[in-house]
Amino acid sequence: MKLLVTGGAGFIGANFVNYVLTNRKDYQVVVCDKLTYAGDMERLRDWINDPRLKFYKVDITDRNSLDEIFSREKIGSIIHFAAESHVDRSIQDATPFIDTNIKGTQVLLDLALKHNIERFIHISTDEVYGELGHEGRFSENMPLNPSSPYSASKAAADLLIKSYIRTHKLPAIIIRPCNNYGPWQYPEKFIPVIIYKAIKNEKIPVYGQGQNIREWLYVEDCCNGIMEIFEKGKIGEIYNLGSGEERKNIEVVKTILQTINKPESLIEFVSDRPGHDFRYSLDSKKVQKELGWTPSHHFPEGIEKTIHWNLVNREWIERKIQFLKELWEKVYRRQIKKRN
């Protein structure tokens, strides 16, 4: 079995590649990744010399280059992770999100039809549903109501895929996971930021009063769920992939501080993000009932493993933090130049 994994040098994508090559000895993986700031070949370092892994640096909007890869590698199925995924960045500039998440997905869909792929698995997000109040959960048949340019671009990709399923009989499945955390997560995301700043005894910024609620899934469990859906899921279906473990943002911060014995005085409440969704919660009964999937890690265990990984790989975190600082400085200078 030969899989094309788009975004395979990203956080969840690279963890998925690691999961497949570790647990499915008869699988071959072709990774396509643009290697933007959030992509890193170091995530694939254990497999660089493994003949079952091939890597191509390519933008998924580059139709001709991808077409050549499809022809050369005789791709069987696609697991599509590649996406711009940071909400704050989408608020600053939505253009890359439209290009990659919508246009890039369309290119892949067209090539999937042309090359008769067996299965197209699209990794979406729970954010396409919008937000919930204190009660209820999102089921797969609920309407989409995205709040940010990021989630709007992902919702658009979902709808595009549904249209290809209906119109072209594309053998596709959509997966909507909740918030992931774990090894190799880029240090601009919520949990890695908390860990890094706590270790450094720096102030930890928390939007509003930290009352927003998220459902958290350890990345290894997410990868296992994706594989189960790929191998056993029904074509044309949508599957929520959640843990059932919800936490207020402030609770996540306090849990991490307690785990590494740091004071709560490091918490600093900051102005809330525009359009900040209050709560996400997935109804995952469908994947549990049809495929028998359940996560293996409870939140406290997953957080301990994540903290340990960040401590052991602190050098990588430090390098990425420095890169982010330089990147944001460039963005800020460009914005000032435009205004002037």
Number of separate domains in the chain? 1
Out of 33, 40, 84, 127, the active site residue is: 127
Please pick, among 84, 129, 150, 220, the residue that the annotation labels catalytic: 150
Residue of 216, 190, 217, 191 lying closest to 276 (CA atoms): 190
- For residue 201, the SS3 value is coil
Q: Is 248 domain-assigned? A: no
Burial label for 228, CB within 10 Å (0-12, 13-18, 19+), is middle
Kindly state whether residue 191 falls inside one of the protein's structural domains. no
First to last CA, the chain: 55
Q: Taking a C-beta distance cutoff of 8 angstroms, is the pair 323, 37 a contact?
A: yes
Give the other-Cβ count within 10 Å of 315's Cβ. Answer: 8
Domain assignment of residue 144, yes or no: yes
Domain containing residue 292: 2-180+219-243+280-297
DSSP 15-63: HHHHHHHHH-TT-EEEEEE---TT--GGGGGGGTT-TTEEEEE--TT-H
Note whether residue 68 is domain-resident: yes
The answer to whether the beta carbons of residues 180 and 12 sit under 8 Å apart is yes
Please confirm, yes or no, whether 127 is among the known catalytic residues.
yes
- pLDDT values of the chain reduced to their tens digit, one per residue, 340 residues: 899 999 999 999 999 999 999 999 999 999 999 999 889 999 999 999 999 999 999 999 999 999 999 999 999 999 999 999 888 888 889 999 999 999 999 999 999 999 999 999 999 999 999 999 999 999 999 999 999 999 999 999 999 999 999 999 999 999 999 999 999 999 989 999 999 999 999 999 999 999 999 999 999 999 999 999 999 999 999 999 999 999 999 999 999 999 999 999 999 999 998 889 999 999 999 999 999 999 999 999 999 999 999 999 999 999 999 988 887 676 556 555 555 5
CATH code for the domain of 144: 3.40.50.720
Asked if residue 338 belongs to a domain, the reply is no
Please pick, among 33, 126, 131, 220, the residue that the annotation labels catalytic. Answer: 126
Inside any domain, residue 202:
no
Q: Work out whether the CA dihedral 154, 188, 10, 66 comes out positive or negative.
A: positive
Strand 213-218 with 179-181, pairing: parallel
Structural domain contains residue 133:
yes
| Catalytic-residue membership of 220 | no
Is the residue at 303 inside a domain? no
Q: Is 332 a catalytic residue?
A: no
CA distance 56 to 45: 15
